[in-house]
Structure 1
Amino acid sequence: MKFFTQQLLELKAYRKDREVLANYILENPHCFGPLLDTCLQVDEAISYKAAWILELVCLKNIKLLIPHLDRFLDNISKVYKPQAVRPMAKICEELTLHYYSKKAISLQFVLTKQQREQLTEICFDWLITDQKVAVKAYAMHCLFLLGKEFKWIHPELKIILDKDYHEEQPAFKARARHILKKLSVQ
């Protein structure tokens, strides 16, 4: 893991460099826990680089997160650096997509009701606080999916999207229009 930490310290934002480190974790799954630990050291400069790798790993194999799910969800709200929050939000979206997918049956038994409620709280927090557009977009998609199960979410989501729509950036508006359209069809 010392080698990996040194690689993280030297990491640039290039996608191919991030993929090399993500593949290292995928080939050495016992390193996933220490990678998550590094992500959750939120005051350390290296934490956002670890979050970049965690995102790529989870996009390729979300099941590696399952044994660490409680720690991830209990601590994700402490992540505050914008470069780290965006990958965490993407991981939440991926987790939610897998859970509600008819194809990914194995995750349906893993994500408890309490964990889904935690995801809901985290996503609403991201949506109503000063976050980058990508984070808000991932959050609103998660909330849309979670709202299919928890019926109170969709009305609250609609209120927030309607309220913030005119003050937000074009990318937010595009995703909000898409979600609002889906909400109106139901």
Structure 2
Amino acid sequence: MAASHKRQRRALRDAFPRKLNLDLTAEIESLKAAVEALQRTFAEREADRRSVLLGQLAYTVDAIATSYVFGAGSRPINLSYIQDAAEDDAAVAERWQQVATFAEQQGVSITRLIQRSSALRSRFLSVAHGSPDELDSTTPDQLREWGTASYASATETLLRFLEPLTLDGKPLRPRQDVATIFAAVL
């Protein structure tokens, strides 16, 4: 009986480390799965943030042009709608022409600016509107990187147009003197 009792104790002693090892292995696997899920979530949120800020780029172009053509406080509209409105109103047409001439001076035809803005707008504008911190910290180089191959040309075109109209290195933050810049265009 004593031998049987010893065998049972030895079996329990031997089994305990194996059980502990199995429990640790399961816990480690569970932690690995949780880390992978967090990494996926982070990557998805980062992709969403990039989409928001690319949409913000198109929104910034629209907002600057709308504000100048229709006056401060006007709700931003697509550049093609501004162009259409210019056909019906001489004052709007004059200010729109200043925007178009300014774009040409930046090496961007107004037709191309409308097309490229529309491309980004249609893909990303529904999620535009970054936080104030994001607007302040987003750089032209980041936007170029995020533009990917399919939106690289559109991103570059909008950045070229915006560069003199926005704060240095902050393409999503319009300058206060945008109206003066456009008004100076002959």
**TM-score where L is the length of structure 1:** 0.25
**TM-score where L is the length of structure 2:** 0.25
- Which is greater in Rg? 2
